[in-house]
Structure 1
């Protein structure tokens, strides 16, 4: 039973006339009559009763019409879904987010803008550290990741820059410099510096160390922290001082103060990572949206909607409400 036979049969059934069916299909009438006769021969029973001024379905014809109509509808739906998928309008995308980038106001805007332009694409965000996200990307557990800049780890991963974010110095409120708006790194040369393990983000780690060396000292490295929020808490607990991306000051903590860095400043670049040779239109559109929103942010078109609110609540609420999928925070 061929698809075209079903199409001809359904058209004749709906028009109740071979000539009108031929006109609707834009073809001659004899071939339609021949194909319907072949279909009747194949199913072993007449499907139409021939009348003086047209045709009507037999009981067997009515049964076949119901099923044939469903088949044609399903084929049309499949055709539309395929076209939508090819245009990147349907499907799903798994987005990995480095823990520290979720504090930046541009990230919810990226997710929101993508969802608005791709309402039928399900977005499933998840949060982890940079090295874990790069591995997840290579192993195809996620489709794209927004992370801090990292050194090339595989030719299978491509990096597209989004933003350069300046760093802030974090001190306990009892520190002798806690009332200073701007502080040089050399002023805290004797303090223990809380950093993340270099394996997590080697480019950012080296940038911080290099900034200290440019200020004339090699830092005394203290306890390590794998999460930015934890590093801030460690400062409050008296373990030392730390430097964090500027957007982390949204994390209001009564036990710390945030300060601009005077002189050579380390920067924390935000990038979007995706697999080399990525063919998915869904993924390529997400990367394009991220770059577009980053340009808008740099041009001052994206406001900081999270300002003045609890940062953890804001980042979870903003990203979760911007996606059609679930948010998995680790």
Structure 2
């Protein structure tokens, strides 16, 4: 039994006449009659009484009609559901991000635009440090992540650098250097440097340390902060200074001053990473929209 048999049966049942039913569905009356006979033979009982002016449902036909009346609508719904899934308009996606990435204006915008464009896709967001995000990708707890790394060791992870942002100094507001708009990094050679552990954010850690060395001094490591938000708070407590991506200046904390770096400015890169073997259409849509929003080539180009 095929769906076309159901459609033919319903046409005859609704029209009560083989000729009108054939005209309605666009086939000849003899082929329609043969298809109904084939259906009756498969079921093993007559579905219609053939009468002089048309066709009437038998009791078996009425019982059959009660069950199959919704089949064409169900089939259409199934087709539309499959088409939506094929376009990535349903499903789920789990996205991670670092605290500093969340301050980059483009990241919240990507989340907002994706939700508006794909309301049927459930998007779950998770904030964590870079090491946790990479681990989440590898063990498939996360589908895509925004983080401050330009490389990821090992195979299986694809990474796109989507933007580059200058770093700025974070100083206690009472520090003498905070009275100027720009500060040379070398002026802070005798100050304690506050950073997150290298294990949780190796790229940021290395770039800050390298910037200090390029400025002519080995940094004096001060208090270790669990995340960049804590770095800001520790600077406010006058425990030292630090460098953060410029978007973090949105985090206004009492006792903190953000200042531009005089001379060569280290760059913080924002990247999107995901598993290279992930074939989810929802993920491909998310990645493509993110790259387009950052004027990067789509993943299928």
Same fold (TM over 0.5): yes
Are the aligned partners of 2:150 and 2:203 in contact in 1 as well (CA < 8 Å)? yes
Q: Which residue of 2 aligns with 1:134?
A: 134
Residue 218 of structure 1 pairs with residue 224 of structure 2: no
Q: Secondary structure at the match of 1:55?
A: strand
Q: Tell me the distance in 2 between the aligned counterparts of 1:213 and 1:162.
A: 27
Q: Which residue of 2 aligns with 1:27?
A: 27
Q: Tell me the distance in 1 between the aligned counterparts of 2:99 and 2:51.
A: 74
Q: Secondary structure at the match of 1:295?
A: coil
Q: Which runs of 5+ in 2 are unaligned?
A: 297-301
Instruction: Give how far 1:82 is off.
Output: 1.1
Instruction: Give how far 1:249 is off.
Output: 1.2
Q: Tell me the distance in 2 between the aligned counterparts of 1:103 and 1:15.
A: 64
Q: Tell me the distance in 2 between the aligned counterparts of 1:14 and 1:273.
A: 56
Q: Which runs of 5+ in 1 are unaligned?
A: 297-330
Instruction: Give how far 1:77 is off.
Output: 1.2
Residue 196 of structure 1 pairs with residue 192 of structure 2: no
Q: Which residue of 2 aligns with 1:232?
A: 232
> For the pair shown, which has the larger CA radius of gyration, 1 or 2?
2
Are the aligned partners of 2:97 and 2:128 in contact in 1 as well (CA < 8 Å)? yes
Q: Which residue of 2 aligns with 1:16?
A: 16
Q: Which residue of 1 aligns with 2:160?
A: 160
Q: Tell me the distance in 2 between the aligned counterparts of 1:126 and 1:74.
A: 37
Instruction: Give how far 1:80 is off.
Output: 1.2
Q: Tell me the distance in 1 between the aligned counterparts of 2:119 and 2:65.
A: 35
1:42-53 equivalence runs, <5 A: 42-53=42-53
* Deviation beyond 4 Å, 4+ runs, structure 1: none
The aligned length equals 296
Residue 84 of structure 1 pairs with residue 84 of structure 2: yes
Residue 244 of structure 1 pairs with residue 224 of structure 2: no
Pick which of 197-206 and 213-222 moved more. Answer: 197-206
> Deviations for 1:114-153, whole angstroms, at most 9, x for unmatched residues?
2232232222212111111111112211211111115322
Are the aligned partners of 2:194 and 2:240 in contact in 1 as well (CA < 8 Å)? yes
Q: Secondary structure at the match of 1:177?
A: helix
TM-score, normalising length: structure 1:
0.83
Are the aligned partners of 1:204 and 1:267 in contact in 2 as well (CA < 8 Å)? no
Q: Tell me the distance in 1 between the aligned counterparts of 2:52 and 2:108.
A: 68
TM-score, normalising length: structure 2:
0.90
Q: Tell me the distance in 2 between the aligned counterparts of 1:160 and 1:111.
A: 17
Q: Tell me the distance in 2 between the aligned counterparts of 1:116 and 1:74.
A: 27
Q: Which residue of 1 aligns with 2:266?
A: 266
